A and B are shown apart, each in its own frame.
Chain A
Amino acid sequence: MSHRLKALLPFALFALALVAVQFTLRATGREYCLTQLTMSLYYAIVVIGLCLVMGYAGQVSLGHGAFFAIGGYTSAVLTTHDFSRVNATAWAGALRQACLLVAKDDLYGNQIVTASPWAAFLAAMLVTLVIASLIGYPALRLKGHYLAMATLGFGLIVYKTVLGTALFGAADGINGVPEWKLGFGLTVSGRSALRVENYYVAGALVLVLLVLLRNLIHSRVGRALQAIHDRETAAGAMGINTAAYKLRAFVLSALLAAMAGVFFTHYTGGIGPSEASAFKSVRYVALAASGGMASLWGVTGMSTLLNYLSFRGLFGSYDNAVFGVILITIVSLAPEGPLKPLGLWVGRLVGMRSTASQTKQNNGDTVERVPTTVI
């Protein structure tokens, strides 16, 4: 049982940290910061998904910004576009019956019919599923970095398509996306009255996804993905269908990005083309790298923190450049991410002061105790 408690501890700490941050901000009268934190948490979901595909399955995706945008735009278009012209048809009636189409008033008081946010969410997931499968299937049957190339090209296509299509609001993006009533009295909305609630909705969503992915990683599927990452040939020889597993991990990760996009769009009430840009995709990769790639906690923490700082305007007009610098620094100085070496360093510092004997670690394989006291 204590084993299970130990596994639960980080999740409890994460929940505690969420609460602590909210209380601190309330006490200091800076609760408005929660809005940017909420947005950062949604971005963190994209990076967590990327962590699965990069850190575990060992495939690089440079198109996660595009998947985020596909999720956001699909739900934005469906929840703002007026479907009243087809409202009279039989299938529209059926959709209304199923609460997938809803009638409401637009900004100018005209009656319009749009898809309900839940219907739009499901549609966004479906669209992402299909597109990610189409991109991933040919690229992942091969060994090597074909996915990176395919997703890079794909991201550019999505960006330019969004920019050039009136339906997607071209350079202006889509505004006026309605709030999303999730059920259980929860609403995804940018209204300041719902700020705290939305912060916890985002935090809970991240927490649930972390639990699910942790389960996945500590299972036969997780081991298979790591095996593919380490040695694809040996993984195949163990009976793992490498192409299928890489594809499933990629699609799952794309779905997470799209899900984040849907929530983000309802939260901010709109989405713009910059979400689909290559800058965003590279930023997600940089964030995953800064969190240590294969560490769910590191990735969640670093991603939330850095995105929050970016939202607070800390990096000024060098925003995208900063993430480029982060990526270069990590790749050249700390390929495993800064957290692990930092932790070892802190551990050594603390260990030297508090104990008489020092634990020396060689490559993490043999641990020998070297007594410092001379006989």
Chain B
Amino acid sequence: MTLLEVKHVRRSFGGLVAVNGVSFSVNPGRIKAVIGPNGAGKTTLFNIISGLLKADAGQVTFKDRSITGFKPYQIARAGISRTFQNPSLFFQMSVLENVMVGRHRRSGREFAACCLRLPGQPKEERSIREAALAQLDYVGLAHLAGFPAGGLSFGQRRMVELARALATDPELLLLDEPASGLNTREKENLGALIRRIRDRGVTVLLVEHDMTLVMDLSDDILVLHNGTIIAEGSPVTIQSDPKVISTYLGGEFRPPEEVELALLTGERPDTAPGARVVPTRSSPVGEGAVR
């Protein structure tokens, strides 16, 4: 009863082993977060799952079917959609057209049918437009449909990218740092939106640095460190896991409530050498580090 299964996946870049024998599974209808310090291998893992990178070893199985070595478009067609760390919209197009591209795999007219407007093609085009508009409406940006995508604010770009990913009707949605660069209000909206997406039956796997959001949102959390999994479980278990605490805080065991506080604020209570803090772009990491 697993949707995505990652088995012994390994990937190195030159001498650096970014992902070292990682195995985990994602159950349907859940929100799972992958956290870990910078360089832990989270994005590499995402890129392997979505086909942008090839794994050196290991398998990825989606709905009991191996998708190991699939090209990105094949993985998208299998039902996995993703967003990128930097929203990568198609800037030459309007917002609506961007989302319409998301309908690509749900439509099928090719060159000849489109050139000649063969029977059924205009109808398909209309249904693509309607579905895309519905997705834009879902993320609350229907009023920007005709806008050039290049003119959007950062937060809006993220939402359009999300709508575009949703337009593929994915079963699994991969979100790579969806909250980075968003302000507090946008983050709250994002959290609510991701929850609604899950409730609609889409499984979500996300990489995120914002601990408030992660702890609040996730059903399960996976902690990566130096390319290996050091902990996996519910937010509560993760917050009291000694390994996680020492990775994030660099100290020995601390009472859970203190750790939770530290994780939430990104503060570092002691300045032990080699200690690492989860760098969140919007939470006051900088201040904590200076103190």
Contacts and interface: CB of A to CB of B under 8 A. Distances in A.
With most chain A CB atoms within 10 A of its CB, the pick from B71, B81, B111 is B111
Interface stretch (B6-14, B30-38, B93-101, B235-243): B93-101
Given A223-B101, A224-B101, A230-B90, 19 more contacts: A212-B116, A220-B100, A220-B104, A220-B114, A220-B125, A221-B109, A221-B114, A229-B92, A233-B88, A235-B101, A236-B51, A237-B81, A237-B82, A238-B73, A238-B168, A240-B101, A241-B71, A241-B73, A363-B150
Interface in B118-134: 121, 124-125, 128
A216 B115 contact: yes
A242 B114 CA distance: 17
Given A230-B93, A234-B90, A365-B148, A240 B73 contact: yes
A9 B111 CA distance: 24
A234 B84 contact: yes
Given A238-B104, A238-B164, A365-B150, A222 B88 contact: no
A220 B113 CA distance: 10
A238 B102 contact: yes
Contact of A219 (B71, B81, B109): B109
Interface string A237-248: 111111000001
Given A220-B128, A236-B71, A365-B150, A226 B93 contact: yes
Interface residues of B, number: 43
Contacts of B107: 220
Interface string A338-374: 0000000000000000000000000111100000000
Contacts of B109: 219-221
Contact of A215 (B51, B71, B116): B116
B154 interface: no
Contact of A213 (B73, B115, B117): B115
Contact of B101 (A238, A242, A363): A238
B147 interface: yes
B76 A248 contact: no
B110 interface: yes
Contacts of A70: none
B105 A238 contact: yes
A206 interface: no
A227 B121 CA distance: 20
B76 A238 contact: yes
A231 interface: yes
A226 B111 CA distance: 14
A202 interface: no
A263 B110 CA distance: 27
B52 interface: yes
CB-CB nearest 6 A-B residue pairs: A365-B151, A239-B105, A239-B76, A219-B114, A236-B72, A230-B90
Interface of B: 50-52, 71-73, 76-77, 81-82, 84, 88-93, 97, 100-105, 107, 109-111, 114-117, 121, 124-125, 128, 147-148, 150-152, 164, 168
Nearest to A55: B92
Contacts of B81: 237-238
A344 B50 CA distance: 42
Contacts of B76: 236-239
Given A238-B102, A240-B104, A222 B73 contact: no
Contacts of B73: 236-242
Interface string A196-227: 00000000000000001101100111111011
A216 B105 CA distance: 17
Nearest to B161: A234
Contacts of A363: 150-151
Contacts of B110: 221, 248
28 contacts: A212-B116, A213-B115, A215-B116, A216-B115, A220-B125, A220-B128, A221-B109, A221-B111, A224-B101, A226-B93, A227-B93, A230-B90, A230-B92, A231-B88, A231-B90, A233-B72, A233-B84, A236-B51, A236-B73, A236-B76, A237-B84, A238-B73, A239-B104, A248-B110, A248-B111, A363-B150, A365-B148, A365-B151
Contacts of B114: 215-216, 219-222
B148 A364 contact: yes
A272 B110 CA distance: 36
Contacts of A236: 51-52, 71-73, 76
Contacts of A366: 151
B53 to A, nearest CB: 11
Contacts of A219: 109, 114, 121, 125
A163 B166 CA distance: 56
B159 to A, nearest CB: 15
A235 to B, nearest CB: 7
With most chain A CB atoms within 10 A of its CB, the pick from B84, B92, B102, B115 is B115
Contacts of A237: 50, 52, 72-73, 76, 81-82, 84
A66 interface: no
A257 interface: no
A224 B91 CA distance: 13
Nearest to B121: A219
